[in-house]
């Protein structure tokens, strides 16, 4: 493929952007990545085109370099390109830094051992510390800071060793980028120290001696975490941020003083940052202060007063976060009241955009109170939010649906308790008014939804509002009755809303479902809406008929049967019958009528499938008792969108037939086995964490070098029982190490068949060792070691190496690893070992201790291909010493 033109690249990048996975699969990640990198140095392409190539690298690095090693090479290539740029201003410098950072951080190449990592960090630190004054240099400096900040975000603690340098830069240059980088690094460094506990390697490196910024020496990874924080965070709070189990960090007095000075200085300059940057800085400084013992949060106070007045969502959010972090230590009761009033004001401010108002309203319902009464993490109205304070937050019909619902929710929460209880707070006396208001609003919404041709959005709004109000009205039978009546009227006016009713019945809980079900059944059996509404009535009856008296439903179904219809109609009819079968009212004349109806269905329906089902129901009904009938027809899961109830009621059955993918509830462990002759035996024990039956363990050796293994059956495994031992005969075609892929198929006590994939087991070179076969009785003179040694050549190979085993080590080694294979020995200095490697190779070792320096190992084999494996094996033994 020749070099592409700028237009061709634009097309390629558009295709990549549209569907990265498909495009990379088509074009080949490696080829595309290599082409992108080489084109960056091409002189044909213009700078804007190259910037667009870098933008693609910035955005899709994981698709282009799925492998960390390749990613590392790519970062090096990008840095090489950067080094080749001419010293004059170049538009490529910033995107190159960004792209290299993105590739390094997102492809998993950021690591202590990575050369590209150290190179990039050095380049970035140098660029961030640059002093040149031109606009280009300023931009590169800021970009380098951003890149460092991103690396630090991905790997908290990475820059902890450079804290002094960063502080100095922040002092002298003081730009937003430097401030943000320093704050983040400071937070992460303190967090890492707090997590490390009292035995931390060092205190705050370099923070106290800020003026003398030391240039980075060898990189210190001691405080750098594994990756981003461990996600074992407490529920409802982000990140495992310094909420350390070891408690807050104790700093020495000079360190603490220095920290306080640094924080105050940052806060004083925070006015100079853009609002989103201020919000970030404030949140991170709150975290800093929270990490360290004895740091007064009052430092934040002067800034909070300024921020409280602003209309920015992010600044308000940051203020709330610091309130959450420090509570009363930062916000007195009066401050809390003021903050709440500001929040109420913002939530109803007509000049703010609606989403911002809604967010403020959400914050009100999760307001971090100094002394919360309700459970944490749940929505609730703060104690200070009195109904009179919330007057401006009432819902009204003219608001947009999201506003209306959010305000209705607030009203319900605000008055939920008061309406039920005997008028606490100052809601007493207004109870009836609130109820009337709520009912009026709901009635208007129902009226809107009842309009013929009303859009689904207004219908949905009506049902959502009813759902919210139900919770608030639960203790008000009168109001609930009115809601039920209104909804029944709505159904009467528009039976096509049946799916919404079914949904409401499921979601709203018993308190509404019970009376509403009854009311809807009455409307349905009365047959409102004529023949077109029949399908909707059947849908409602399928949901509610089970709990209602049988008679009226049966009458309706008989009448419906007379009208006839298509397959779907027949299925709907059968669905309603099924609901009756599972119902509770099977007394009096009902059962006989139901049996008659089922018989009529079995005979009279057009579709043979429907007739069969009718017959099945009839047989079940006439032969099974009520409780068995209920379980035979299975748990009902109402899924109104399902075309056929056949699928629905067979779901449980079908899942019993299908193999389920599961997490393996069992563990395999290797047990050493020493076979005397072929085959090599691999010993495994199996333990289960729950009862499992009819296990079939399937083994597959990866690669072509082994005969296939047969599956092993185990009838039963119980937790706590002694582990079951399995002996797997391995038949290598070549004596090479490999991996054993293990999967298991089993039955659970619940009757499900499950399939699970277990972790692969490695088969090492040493696992294949066997002693030489014992001499057969016919052979009078078994070959000596010397004869075997000589017989290896010329067909085989020989090698010689030095082993670092001194003194007794050689004897220990032989006892531990080669005991069965020793042919002759002069302990503790000389051993001759002969190992057989199935199917037909052998490995001979002559070990001679050479004084105190180590051991000379001579090895010969009749199979040259195993020589590297043997070498690796011996080196491995040396390493374990």
Partner 1 sequence: MAQRAIWLVSHEPGTPHGGTVRFSRRYPTVEKRAKTFNGSSYVPLPEDDPFCKALLFELRLLDDDKDFVESRDGCSRISKASVYGLPIGGKELWPVLALQKNGLIYVSVPLVEQTLSAHPPLISISGISQAFDLLFGLIDFFDSGPRTEADLSTKVSQLPDLLLHICPFGTLLDSNFLLDNFSNLSIYQAPKQPAWKAGTYKGKPQVAVSITEKVKSMQYDKREVADMWQVYGTITCKCDLEGVMPNVTISLNLPTNGSPLQDILVHPCVTSLDSAVLTSSSVDIMDDSAFSGPYKFPFTPPLESFHLCYYTSQVPVPPILGFYQLKEEDSQLKITVHLKLHESVKNCFEYCEAHIPFYNRGPITHLEYKVSFGQVEVLREKSLLIWIIGQKFPKSLEINLSGTVNFNTMGHQKQPVDTICIGGTTYVKLYFRIPDYTLTGCYADQHSVQVFASGKPKITTCRELISSDYYIWNSKAPAPVAYRSLFL
Least distance to partner 1 from the beta carbon of 65, Å? 11
Residue (173 or 550) nearer to partner 1, CB: 173
Stretch that binds partner 1, among 456-464, 473-481, 573-581, 853-861 (CB under 8 A): 456-464
Residue (264 or 458) nearer to partner 1, CB: 458
> From CA 479, how far away is CA 520, in angstroms rounded?
17
With contact defined as beta carbons under 8 Å apart, do 76 and 103 qualify?
no
Residue (25 or 793) nearer to partner 1, CB: 25
The reply to whether 363 sits near partner 1 by the rule CB under 8 A is: yes
| Subset of residues 506 to 535 that bind partner 1, contact rule: CB under 8 A | 507-508
Stretch that binds partner 1, among 268-276, 545-553, 579-587, 846-854 (CB under 8 A): 268-276
Give the one residue of 216, 239, 679, 854 binding partner 1; rule: CB under 8 A.
Answer: 239
DSSP characters for 462-482?
HHHHHHHHHHHHTT-HHHHHH
| Subset of residues 177 to 206 that bind partner 1, contact rule: CB under 8 A | 177
- Widest CA span in the chain: 115
The reply to whether 314 sits near partner 1 by the rule CB under 8 A is: yes
Give the one residue of 221, 437, 755, 864 binding partner 1; rule: CB under 8 A.
Answer: 437
With contact defined as beta carbons under 8 Å apart, do 844 and 788 qualify?
yes
Residue (325 or 823) nearer to partner 1, CB: 325
Stretch that binds partner 1, among 132-140, 723-731, 835-843, 867-875 (CB under 8 A): 132-140
CA–chain centroid gap for 680, Å, is 42
The reply to whether 602 sits near partner 1 by the rule CB under 8 A is: no
Bridge-based pairing of strands 659-661 and 753-763 is parallel
The reply to whether 383 sits near partner 1 by the rule CB under 8 A is: no
The reply to whether 20 sits near partner 1 by the rule CB under 8 A is: yes
The reply to whether 361 sits near partner 1 by the rule CB under 8 A is: yes
Give the one residue of 426, 606, 853, 872 binding partner 1; rule: CB under 8 A.
Answer: 426
- Give residue 683's region: left, alpha or beta (phi > 0; psi -120 to 50): beta
The residues, ordered by sequence, that sit 6+ positions from 115 with a Cβ below 8 Å of its Cβ are: 72, 76
Determine whether 238 is exposed, middle or buried from the number of CB atoms within 10 Å of its CB (0-12, 13-18, 19+): exposed
Task: Please give the sequence-ordered ranges of beta strands (E in DSSP) within 642-796, or none if there are none.
Answer: 659-661, 666-671, 680-688, 692-701, 712-717, 724-730, 738-747, 753-763
* Site pattern 73..112 for partner 1 (x: CB under 8 A): ---------------------xx--x--xx--xx-x----
The reply to whether 483 sits near partner 1 by the rule CB under 8 A is: no
* Site pattern 391..410 for partner 1 (x: CB under 8 A): xx-x-xxx---x--xx--x-
The reply to whether 482 sits near partner 1 by the rule CB under 8 A is: no
The reply to whether 162 sits near partner 1 by the rule CB under 8 A is: no
What tokens appear for 813 in the block?
A: 């080694």
The residues, ordered by sequence, that sit 6+ positions from 733 with a Cβ below 8 Å of its Cβ are: 704, 705, 706, 707, 839
Bridge-based pairing of strands 666-671 and 680-688 is antiparallel
* Site pattern 26..65 for partner 1 (x: CB under 8 A): --------------------------x--x--xxxxx---
| Subset of residues 829 to 868 that bind partner 1, contact rule: CB under 8 A | none
The reply to whether 316 sits near partner 1 by the rule CB under 8 A is: yes
Terminal CA-to-CA distance of the chain, rounded, Å?
A: 53
Please, where are the H alpha helices in 327-455? 333-347, 354-365, 401-420, 431-450
Q: How many residues bind partner 1 (CB under 8 A)?
A: 145
Stretch that binds partner 1, among 313-321, 558-566, 665-673, 764-772 (CB under 8 A): 313-321
The reply to whether 5 sits near partner 1 by the rule CB under 8 A is: no
Residue (151 or 682) nearer to partner 1, CB: 151
The reply to whether 281 sits near partner 1 by the rule CB under 8 A is: no
Give the one residue of 15, 111, 196, 321 binding partner 1; rule: CB under 8 A.
Answer: 321
The reply to whether 283 sits near partner 1 by the rule CB under 8 A is: yes
| Subset of residues 341 to 360 that bind partner 1, contact rule: CB under 8 A | 341-342, 344-346, 348-353, 355-356, 358-359
What tokens appear for 40 in the block?
A: 């960056």
> From CA 375, how far away is CA 817, in angstroms rounded?
62
Please choose, from the candidates 414, 300, 315, 403, the residue with its C-alpha nearest in 3D space to the C-alpha of residue 365: 414
Q: What is the 3-state secondary structure (H, E, C) of 485-523?
A: HHHHHHHHHCHHHHHHHHHHHHHHCHHHHHHHHHHHHHH
The reply to whether 440 sits near partner 1 by the rule CB under 8 A is: yes
Give the one residue of 222, 264, 265, 430 binding partner 1; rule: CB under 8 A.
Answer: 430
Cross-strand bridge partners of residue 819: none
Least distance to partner 1 from the beta carbon of 523, Å? 18
The reply to whether 375 sits near partner 1 by the rule CB under 8 A is: no
With contact defined as beta carbons under 8 Å apart, do 862 and 795 qualify?
yes
């Amino acid at each position: 493929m020749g070099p592409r033109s700028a237009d061709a690249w634009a097309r390629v990048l558009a295709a990549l952007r549209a569907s990265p996975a498909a495009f990379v699969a088509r074009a080949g990640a490696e080829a595309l990545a290599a082409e992108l990198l080489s084109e960056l140095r091409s002189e044909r392409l213009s700078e804007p085109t190259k910037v667009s190539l870098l933008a693609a690298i910035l955005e899709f690095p994981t698709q282009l370099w799925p492998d960390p090693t390749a990613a590392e090479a790519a970062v090096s290539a990008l840095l090489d390109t950067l080094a080749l740029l001419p010293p004059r201003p170049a538009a490529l410098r910033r995107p190159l830094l960004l792209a290299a950072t993105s590739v390094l951080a997102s492809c998993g190449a950021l690591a202590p051992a990575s050369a590209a990592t150290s190179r990039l960090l050095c380049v970035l630190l140098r660029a961030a510390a640059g002093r040149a004054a031109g606009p280009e240099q300023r931009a590169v400096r800021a970009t380098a800071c951003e890149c460092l900040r991103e690396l630090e975000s991905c790997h908290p603690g990475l820059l902890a060793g450079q804290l002094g340098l960063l502080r100095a830069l922040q002092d002298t240059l003081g730009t937003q980028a430097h401030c943000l980088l320093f704050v983040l690094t400071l937070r992460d460094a303190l967090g890492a120290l707090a997590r490390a506990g009292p035995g931390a390697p060092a205190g705050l490196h370099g923070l106290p001696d800020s003026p003398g910024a030391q240039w980075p020496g060898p990189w210190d990874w001691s405080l750098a975490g594994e990756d981003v924080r461990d996600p074992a965070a407490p529920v409802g709070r982000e990140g495992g941020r310094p909420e350390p189990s070891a408690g807050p960090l104790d700093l020495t007095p000079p360190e603490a003083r220095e920290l306080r000075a640094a924080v105050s200085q940052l806060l004083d300059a925070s006015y100079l940052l853009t609002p989103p940057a201020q919000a970030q800085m404030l949140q991170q400084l709150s975290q800093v202060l929270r990490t360290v013992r004895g740091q007064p949060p009052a430092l934040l106070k002067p800034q909070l007063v300024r921020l409280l007045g602003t209309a920015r969502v992010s600044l308000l959010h940051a203020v709330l976060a610091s309130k959450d972090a420090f509570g009363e230590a930062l916000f007195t009761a009066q401050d809390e009241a003021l903050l709440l009033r500001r929040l109420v004001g913002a939530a109803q401010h007509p000049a703010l955009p609606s989403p911002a108002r809604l967010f403020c309203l959400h914050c009100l319902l999760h307001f971090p109170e100094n002394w919360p009464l309700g459970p944490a993490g749940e929505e609730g109205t703060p104690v200070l939010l009195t109904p009179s304070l919330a007057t401006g937050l009432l819902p009204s019909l003219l608001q947009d649906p999201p506003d209306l619902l959010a305000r209705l929710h607030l009203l319900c929460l605000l008055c939920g308790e008061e309406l039920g209880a005997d008028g606490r707070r100052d809601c007493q006396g207004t109870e009836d008014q609130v109820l009337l208001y709520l009912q009026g609003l709901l009635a208007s919404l129902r009226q809107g939804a009842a309009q013929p041709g009303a859009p689904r959005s207004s219908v949905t709004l009506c049902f959502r509002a009813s759902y919210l109000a139900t919770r608030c009205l639960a203790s008000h039978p009168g109001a609930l009755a009115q809601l039920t009546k209104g909804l029944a009227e709505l159904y009467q006016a528009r039976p096509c809303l049946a799916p919404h009713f079914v949904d409401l019945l499921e979601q709203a809980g018993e308190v509404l479902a019970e009376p509403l079900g009854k009311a809807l059944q009455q409307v349905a059996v009365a047959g409102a809406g004529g023949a077109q509404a029949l399908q909707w009535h059947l849908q409602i009856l399928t949901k509610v008929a089970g709990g209602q008296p049988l008679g009226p439903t049966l009458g309706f179904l008989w009448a419906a049967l007379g009208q006839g219809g298509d397959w779907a109609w027949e299925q709907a009819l059968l669905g309603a019958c099924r609901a009756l079968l599972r119902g509770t009212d099977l007394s009096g004349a009902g059962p006989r009528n139901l049996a008659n109806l089922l018989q009529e269905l079995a005979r009279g329906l057009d579709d043979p499938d429907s007739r069969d089902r009718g017959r099945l129901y009839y047989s079940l009904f006439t032969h099974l008792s009520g409780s068995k009938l209920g379980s035979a027809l299975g748990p009902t899961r109402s899924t109104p969108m399902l075309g056929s109830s056949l699928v629905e009621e067979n779901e449980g059955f079908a899942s019993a037939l299908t193999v389920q993918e599961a997490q393996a509830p069992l563990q395999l462990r290797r047990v050493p086995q020493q076979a005397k002759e072929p085959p090599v035996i691999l010993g495994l024990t199996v333990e289960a964490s729950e009862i499992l039956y009819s296990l079939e363990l399937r083994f597959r050796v990866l690669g072509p070098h082994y005969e296939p293994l047969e599956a092993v059956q185990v009838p039963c495994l119980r937790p706590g029982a002694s582990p079951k031992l399995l002996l797997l005969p391995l038949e290598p075609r070549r004596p090479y190490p490999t991996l054993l892929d293990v999967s298991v198929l089993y039955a659970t006590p619940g009757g499900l068949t499950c399939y699970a994939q277990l972790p692969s087991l490695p088969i090492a070179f040493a696992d294949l060792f066997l002693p030489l076969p014992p001499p057969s009785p016919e052979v009078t003179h078994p070959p000596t070691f010397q004869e075997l040694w000589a017989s290896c050549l010329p067909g085989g190979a020989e090698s010689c190496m030095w082993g670092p085993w001194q003194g007794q080590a050689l004897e220990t080694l032989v006892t531990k690893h080669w005991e069965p294979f020793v042919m002759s020995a002069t302990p503790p200095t000389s051993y001759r070992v002969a190992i057989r490697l199935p199917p037909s190779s052998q490995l001979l070792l002559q070990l001679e201790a050479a004084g105190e320096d180590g051991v000379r190992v001579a090895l010969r084999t009749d199979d040259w291909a195993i020589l590297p494996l043997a070498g690796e094996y011996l080196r491995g033994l040396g390493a374990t010493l």
